[in-house]
Amino acid sequence: MWKKICLLLCATLLLTGCVKIETDVTIHKDGSALVKERFLLSKQLLAMSQEQDPFAEALEKYKDDASVQVKEYSTEDMKGIEATKNIEDITSDKWNTSADSKNLVAKNPDGKFISVKKGFFKDVYILDAQVDTIPKEDNPMSAQEKQMQAAVMSGLNANEIFSFSYIIRTPVKADSHNATEADESNFVYTWKIKFNAINEMKLQFTVYKTVNIVFSLFAVIIILLITANAVNTKKEET
């Protein structure tokens, strides 16, 4: 994989933002979520590529998973694929669309990306994770490929080439977070992930259980009314 990337980048030293990887997670109040992962290349870069289908390797990841829907995705300047998956429980450790997504590392004590502290009146969701973008090659590179990688990366700022981000949309405003960007009015939190680094992701939000709160208030009112009526009855008897 590094060989393909390096060959493309050698021909596009003046291009910036030519590779975009984006994970977009929408969390619902019931604890379910919709996950979208996008892998995009600039149209200018694609025009320089000699590959007939540069997304074949990415599509291969999803061919045996019926729970993931994959489609072409494009913007004015970029083109690629978008994989979508519905998650029944966001606290599950399988909320990446691809089974081999290994860059997200859970830091919560229970080993989950998002933990939940359940209560009668509220549930507190806690995201505590690291995004590891230090390149790892499954197959050892040849000496030539290593030299190519070193030469390319020494002359380029990887963070200008690779745009990597996590977007989390919460059902309520976050109690705390360390997001790079935050749209508090729409509950959208974005982490701009740095390449070749360990990135921390922290987020906490609270979902109040309105039905339980209203039921409890109603029960308290009933108890108070019964108590007041008993007191009045006792006074009348005396």
What was the pLDDT predicted at 154?
56
Q: Across all residues in the chain, what is the average pLDDT?
A: 80
**Per-residue pLDDT at 83 exceeds 80:** yes
Helix (H) or strand (E) holding 145: helix 143-154
Distance CA 182, CA 190 (A): 6
Tens digits of residue pLDDT in 188-218: 999 998 877 889 999 999 999 888 888 889 8
Q: Is 108 exposed, middle or buried (0-12, 13-18, 19+ CB in 10 A)?
A: middle
Q: Is 17 left (phi over 0), alpha (psi -120 to 50) or beta?
A: left
What was the pLDDT predicted at 182?
97
Top pLDDT among 51 and 72 is at 72
What was the pLDDT predicted at 84?
93
185 pLDDT band, cuts 50/70/90, is very high
Distance CA 172, CA 187 (A): 6
Contact in structure between 178 and 201 (CB atoms under 8 Å): yes
CA distances in angstroms from 128 to 107, 179, 214, listed in the order given:
5, 12, 32
Task: Please work out, in degrees rounded to the nearest 5, the angle formed at the alpha carbon of residue 169 by the alpha carbons of 166 and 173.
Answer: 125
Tens digits of residue pLDDT in 7-31: 455 545 445 557 888 999 999 999 9
Top pLDDT among 188 and 135 is at 188
Q: How far apart are the two ends of the chain, measured CA to CA in Å?
A: 91
CA distances in angstroms from 49 to 20, 61, 149, listed in the order given:
16, 22, 18
Helix (H) or strand (E) holding 3: helix 2-10
**Which of 40-54, 82-96, 112-126, 217-231 tops mean pLDDT?**
112-126
Extents of the domains making up the chain: 2-209
Distance CA 70, CA 74 (A): 13
